[in-house]
Amino acid sequence: MQFDEWEPLYLQILADFGFSRQEDEVASVVLFNLLAQKKLASVKELKEIISGKIVCVVGNAPRKIDKIPDADVYIAADGATAKMLEHGILPAIITTDLDGDMRALLTANRRGSIAIIHAHGDNIPALETYVPKFKGKVLGSTQSTPFTRLINFGGFTDGDRAVCLAVHLDAQEILLLNFDFEDVSAEAPANAKTKLKKLKWAKKIIEMCSKSGTVRFL
C-alpha cells in the first residue's frame, strides 16, 4: 500500500480514536534518531526475503498455537514471536510497537530476525528504553508520512501492518495464522473496548489487502 492510499485511512483512524498526528510524528523523529547507530535493514533486503514467496504471518490472538504450517517465510506480529520460538521457528521478520514479550523479541532479533519497529504517539518511552537493546538488523515504521529509516506500507496494528508489508513486497501467497478480531480476553477490562475497536480496524485493513487475492486465513 502506497502512502497516498494509506493516508485517508490513517486520518479516519486518528479521528476515530482521538489520536494526534503531531504526536505520531514526534515519535517518528525519536525513532529516527535512535536508529542512527543501529544495523539497518533495507526495503530491498525485505523484498528479497518476501517477493514471490509463500509467507505465513502469525498473529497474536490470545490462544495456544498447536501447529505452524509450512511456509517459505514467517513474519511474527509482536507477541507472536514468543509462540514461534516455542515451536522452534525463528521468524524472518517481526513487526512490533514494543508492547509484547521483549525478551523474545530481543532474542529473535539477536538470532537473525529483522525487527521492524513501529513509532506512534503512545510508545515514545518504550522506544527510548528498548530500541538501544536491539543487536540485530532493524528498520523503523511510522503511521504518518514515511522518511529515511522509517517505512509506511500501511497498517495500524502489528498484525495488519505485517500483512500490508507482505502484500506491498509482492508475496506470492500470504497465510494468516492466529488472527482473531473479537477476542479481547487478555486485556484488562478498562482496555477491552479500545482493543476491540483496534481489532475492527485491523480486520478492515486486512480485508482491503485480501482484494489482492493473495491473502488466506488458516
Q: What does the pLDDT profile of the chain (218 residues) look like in tens digits?
A: 999 999 999 999 999 999 999 999 999 999 999 999 999 999 999 999 999 999 999 999 989 999 999 999 999 999 999 999 999 999 999 999 999 999 999 999 999 999 999 999 999 999 999 999 999 999 999 999 999 999 999 999 999 999 999 999 999 999 999 999 998 888 777 788 999 999 999 999 999 999 989 999 99
All domains in the chain, ordered by first residue: 3-217 (3.90.1480)
Half-sphere exposure of 37 (CA within 13 A, CB side): 6
- The b/e string for 177-198 (b: 16+ C-beta within 10 A; e otherwise) is bbbebeebeeeeeeeeeeeeeb
Q: Strand 93-96's sheet: what is its strand order? A: 150-151, 138-142, 114-119, 93-96, 73-77, 54-58, 173-177, 215-217
**pLDDT for res 189:** 78
**pLDDT for res 212:** 85
Q: What is the pTM of this model?
A: 0.96
| Spatial distance between the Cα atoms of 202 and 161, rounded to a whole number of angstroms | 8
